[in-house]
Amino acid sequence: MAFPTPAHLRYLARRQRVGLVVTLTPEPLPTSCRPIDTFGVRPLQFLHLPIADYESPTEEQIVAFMKEARATIKSGYGVVAHCHKGYGRTGTILACYLVGEEGLQPQQAIDLVREKRPGSIARTQEQVVHIYHKYWLPQHGGGHGERGQAIR
Protein backbone atom coordinates (compact mmCIF):
# COMPACT_ATOMS: atom_id res chain seq x y z
CA MET A 1 0.00 0.00 0.00
CA ALA A 2 1.19 3.53 -0.68
CA PHE A 3 1.26 6.22 2.01
CA PRO A 4 -2.26 6.28 3.57
CA THR A 5 -4.61 9.15 4.33
CA PRO A 6 -6.81 9.36 7.45
CA ALA A 7 -9.90 8.63 5.33
CA HIS A 8 -8.22 5.56 3.85
CA LEU A 9 -7.25 4.31 7.31
CA ARG A 10 -10.81 4.82 8.60
CA TYR A 11 -12.12 2.85 5.63
CA LEU A 12 -9.65 0.02 6.27
CA ALA A 13 -10.59 -0.15 9.95
CA ARG A 14 -14.34 -0.06 9.33
CA ARG A 15 -14.78 -2.00 6.09
CA GLN A 16 -11.75 -4.29 5.93
CA ARG A 17 -11.34 -5.01 9.68
CA VAL A 18 -7.73 -3.85 9.65
CA GLY A 19 -6.24 -3.67 13.13
CA LEU A 20 -2.56 -2.94 12.46
CA VAL A 21 -0.90 -0.37 10.20
CA VAL A 22 2.83 -0.92 9.62
CA THR A 23 4.89 2.03 8.39
CA LEU A 24 8.10 1.09 6.54
CA THR A 25 9.46 4.58 5.91
CA PRO A 26 12.30 6.32 7.75
CA GLU A 27 9.77 8.69 9.33
CA PRO A 28 6.80 7.40 11.33
CA LEU A 29 3.27 7.99 10.12
CA PRO A 30 2.47 11.54 11.27
CA THR A 31 -0.08 11.81 14.06
CA SER A 32 -2.13 14.04 11.75
CA CYS A 33 -2.55 11.07 9.38
CA ARG A 34 -3.92 8.80 12.07
CA PRO A 35 -7.71 8.75 12.31
CA ILE A 36 -8.94 9.74 15.74
CA ASP A 37 -12.35 8.11 15.35
CA THR A 38 -12.82 4.68 13.77
CA PHE A 39 -16.55 4.79 14.55
CA GLY A 40 -16.72 2.15 17.25
CA VAL A 41 -14.34 -0.27 15.57
CA ARG A 42 -11.27 -1.47 17.45
CA PRO A 43 -8.73 1.38 17.46
CA LEU A 44 -5.95 0.94 14.94
CA GLN A 45 -2.54 -0.06 16.23
CA PHE A 46 0.55 1.40 14.57
CA LEU A 47 4.01 -0.14 14.15
CA HIS A 48 6.94 1.84 12.76
CA LEU A 49 9.82 -0.12 11.23
CA PRO A 50 12.13 2.51 9.70
CA ILE A 51 13.63 1.37 6.39
CA ALA A 52 15.43 3.75 4.02
CA ASP A 53 14.19 4.13 0.44
CA TYR A 54 15.31 1.26 -1.82
CA GLU A 55 16.64 -0.72 1.15
CA SER A 56 15.40 -4.03 2.53
CA PRO A 57 14.09 -4.87 5.99
CA THR A 58 16.57 -6.32 8.47
CA GLU A 59 16.17 -9.62 10.27
CA GLU A 60 15.00 -7.78 13.40
CA GLN A 61 12.44 -5.77 11.45
CA ILE A 62 11.02 -8.86 9.74
CA VAL A 63 10.78 -10.70 13.07
CA ALA A 64 9.02 -7.70 14.68
CA PHE A 65 6.61 -7.49 11.75
CA MET A 66 5.85 -11.22 11.94
CA LYS A 67 5.20 -11.10 15.67
CA GLU A 68 2.77 -8.17 15.46
CA ALA A 69 1.08 -9.38 12.27
CA ARG A 70 0.60 -12.88 13.68
CA ALA A 71 -0.99 -11.53 16.88
CA THR A 72 -3.26 -9.13 14.99
CA ILE A 73 -4.44 -11.76 12.52
CA LYS A 74 -4.97 -14.28 15.32
CA SER A 75 -7.29 -11.77 17.00
CA GLY A 76 -9.40 -11.59 13.84
CA TYR A 77 -8.09 -8.36 12.31
CA GLY A 78 -6.11 -7.60 9.19
CA VAL A 79 -2.74 -5.96 8.69
CA VAL A 80 -1.64 -3.37 6.15
CA ALA A 81 1.93 -2.33 5.47
CA HIS A 82 3.01 0.73 3.54
CA CYS A 83 6.05 2.64 2.42
CA HIS A 84 5.94 5.72 0.17
CA LYS A 85 4.71 4.01 -3.00
CA GLY A 86 3.93 0.50 -1.75
CA TYR A 87 6.26 -1.50 -3.98
CA GLY A 88 9.76 -2.25 -2.66
CA ARG A 89 9.84 -2.35 1.12
CA THR A 90 6.16 -3.24 1.39
CA GLY A 91 6.37 -6.01 -1.20
CA THR A 92 9.50 -7.45 0.39
CA ILE A 93 8.05 -7.68 3.89
CA LEU A 94 4.78 -9.13 2.55
CA ALA A 95 6.68 -11.79 0.60
CA CYS A 96 8.53 -12.70 3.81
CA TYR A 97 5.16 -13.00 5.55
CA LEU A 98 3.91 -15.37 2.85
CA VAL A 99 7.03 -17.50 3.27
CA GLY A 100 6.96 -17.56 7.06
CA GLU A 101 3.25 -17.72 7.76
CA GLU A 102 1.70 -19.35 4.71
CA GLY A 103 4.51 -21.73 3.80
CA LEU A 104 5.17 -20.46 0.28
CA GLN A 105 8.58 -20.87 -1.29
CA PRO A 106 10.44 -17.56 -1.76
CA GLN A 107 9.90 -17.31 -5.52
CA GLN A 108 6.21 -18.25 -5.16
CA ALA A 109 5.78 -15.46 -2.61
CA ILE A 110 7.61 -12.92 -4.77
CA ASP A 111 5.53 -13.91 -7.81
CA LEU A 112 2.26 -13.65 -5.86
CA VAL A 113 3.10 -10.18 -4.55
CA ARG A 114 4.06 -9.08 -8.07
CA GLU A 115 0.86 -10.56 -9.48
CA LYS A 116 -1.21 -8.53 -7.02
CA ARG A 117 0.94 -5.38 -7.32
CA PRO A 118 3.04 -5.36 -10.52
CA GLY A 119 6.44 -3.76 -10.10
CA SER A 120 6.82 -4.85 -6.49
CA ILE A 121 10.09 -6.03 -4.92
CA ALA A 122 13.26 -4.79 -6.59
CA ARG A 123 15.72 -7.43 -7.74
CA THR A 124 18.09 -6.41 -4.95
CA GLN A 125 15.29 -6.93 -2.40
CA GLU A 126 14.47 -10.44 -3.64
CA GLN A 127 17.60 -11.71 -1.94
CA VAL A 128 16.20 -10.84 1.50
CA VAL A 129 13.17 -13.07 0.92
CA HIS A 130 15.50 -15.98 0.09
CA ILE A 131 17.76 -15.23 3.08
CA TYR A 132 14.73 -15.07 5.36
CA HIS A 133 13.58 -18.47 4.14
CA LYS A 134 16.97 -20.16 4.36
CA TYR A 135 18.48 -18.66 7.52
CA TRP A 136 16.12 -16.50 9.58
CA LEU A 137 12.91 -18.53 9.41
CA PRO A 138 14.51 -21.68 10.91
CA GLN A 139 15.75 -19.56 13.84
CA HIS A 140 12.50 -17.72 14.49
CA GLY A 141 9.82 -20.11 13.26
CA GLY A 142 6.66 -19.41 11.33
CA GLY A 143 2.97 -20.05 11.69
CA HIS A 144 2.13 -21.62 8.31
CA GLY A 145 -1.48 -20.51 8.35
CA GLU A 146 -4.15 -21.09 5.72
CA ARG A 147 -2.77 -20.33 2.27
CA GLY A 148 -4.20 -17.60 0.15
CA GLN A 149 -5.68 -15.48 2.92
CA ALA A 150 -2.94 -12.90 3.42
CA ILE A 151 -2.95 -10.90 0.20
CA ARG A 152 -6.13 -9.78 -1.50
pLDDT tens string 109-137: 999 999 999 999 999 999 999 999 999 98
Give the CA distances from residue 11 to residues 6, 24, 44, 47, 80, in Å, rounded to whole numbers and listed in that order: 9, 20, 11, 18, 12
Is the domain defined by 6-139 classed in CATH 3.90.190.10?
yes
Q: Does residue 83 carry a catalytic annotation?
A: yes
pTM as predicted:
0.86
CA–CA gap between residue 97 and residue 144 (Å, rounded)? 10
Could you tell me which residues are beta bridge partners of residue 81?
22
Closest Cα partner for 33 from 18, 49, 17, 44? Answer: 44
The pLDDT of residue 6 is above 70: yes
Residue 32 per-residue DSSP state: G
Exactly one of 83, 94, 96, 128 is catalytic; which is it? 83
pLDDT per residue as tens digits for the range 41-95: 678 899 999 999 999 999 999 999 999 999 999 999 999 999 988 899 999 999 9
CB 97 within 8 A of CB 75: no
